[in-house]
Amino acid sequence: LLLAQAYQNLRQFDEAIVEYKKLNINRPKNKLIPFNLGLCLLNTGNNIDAIEAFKIAVQLDETFVDAWGNMGVTLKKEGRLQEAIDSTQKALELDPKIPLSTTPWA
């Protein structure tokens, strides 16, 4: 996990993706692994895979506000507006004070 995070912090997203995918197989109950994988995928333009990673993160923790918010942003980028609205609404239900910069309408 530390290696994957180090690559992510260095913005070496392709390397981070490889490491997170290894971890996801071995520790699928850690919500941060698919969440961080989603962020790396988003940064490399792999929006569809990022959405799937965020979905796994919220399946592991339905109260994971950041995963709901980032999923909304990514869904909007893909033109999936109703799903983006639903995801953003879920994030806002969980935390009404979520910064607007994390919602797909900012």
Is 0.85 surpassed by the pTM of this model? Answer: yes
The domain limits of the chain are 2-102
Interacting residues of 23 by C-beta distance below 8 A, sequence separation 6+: 1, 4, 30, 33
Express each pLDDT in 77-98 by its tens digit: 999 999 999 999 999 999 988 7
> Does the domain spanning 2-102 belong to CATH 1.25.40.10?
yes
Tokens of 48: 């569809």
Provide the mean pLDDT of the chain: 90
* Through-space distance between the first and last CA atoms of the chain, rounded to whole angstroms: 31
Give the model's pLDDT for residue 27: 67
